[in-house]
Structure 1
Amino acid sequence: MSESPTEHFEHAEHAQHVAHLGDKFLTQVSVTIALLAVIAATVGSLETIETAATIGDKNAAVLTQNKATDIWNFYQAKSIKKNLYGIAAANGGPNAEDFKAQSQRYGEDEKELSAKGEQLEHETEEKLIASESHERRHHVLTVAVTLLHVSIAIATISIIMRGQRWPWYGSLFLGLAGTLAAVYAYL
Structure 2
Amino acid sequence: MSDVEPTEHFEQAEHAEHAAHSGNPFLALVAVTIAILAVIAAFIGSLETIETAATIDAKSQATLFQDKATDSWGFYQAKSLKKNLYDVAAVLAGPGANADNFKAQAKRNEEDQESISLAAKTQEDLTEQSLRSSEKHERRHKILTVAVTLLHISIAIATLSIIRQGARWPWYVALGLGVLGSFSAAFAYI
TM-score scaled by length of structure 2: 0.94
1:168 corresponds in structure 2 to 171
Q: Mind listing any 5+ residue stretches in structure 1 that lack a counterpart?
A: none
2:140 aligned to which of 137, 142, 160: 137
Aligned to 1:3: 4
CA contact (8 A) 2:16 2:159 kept: no
Inter-partner Cα distance in structure 2 for 1:73 and 1:141: 41
Give the Cα separation in 2 of the matches to 1:27 and 1:10.
Answer: 16
- Whole-angstrom distance in 2 between the partners of 1:6 and 1:165: 26
TM alignment of 1:78-97, pairs within 5 A: 78-91=79-92, 92-94=94-96, 95-97=98-100
Gaps of 5+ in 2: none
Post-superposition shift, 1:36?
0.4
Measure the CA separation in 2 of the matches of 1:139 and 1:12: 27
How much has 1:13 moved relative to structure 2?
2.0
Whether the aligned pair in 1 keeps the contact of 2:15 and 2:159 (CA below 8 Å) is no
Between the aligned partners of 1:15 and 1:135, the Cα distance in structure 2 is: 34
Q: Give the Cα–Cα distance (whole angstroms) in 1 for the partners of residues 7 and 184 of structure 2.
A: 26
Amino acid in the other structure paired with 1:53: A
Distance 2:7 2:103 in 1: 75
1:99 aligns with 2:117: no
CA deviation string 1:72-124 (max 9, x = no partner): 00000001111121222234233111011001100110001000000000000
SS in 2 for 1:48: helix
Match of 1:16 in 2: 17
Question: Percent identity between the aligned chains?
Answer: 61
Q: What's the CA shift for 1:9?
A: 2.8
- For residues 12 and 159 of structure 2, the distance between their equivalents in structure 1, rounded to whole angstroms, comes to 10
Aligned-partner Cα distance in 2 for 1:174–1:58: 33
| Letter in structure 1 aligned against 2:177 | L
Structure 1 vs Structure 2 CA RMSD? 1.2
Deviations 1:145-177 (A, max 9, x none): 000000001101111111111111000000000
Q: Distance in 2 between matches of 1:8 and 1:143?
A: 18
- Name the counterpart of 2:122: 119
Distance of 2:4 and 2:148 partners within structure 1:
12
Return the offset for 1:5: 3.2
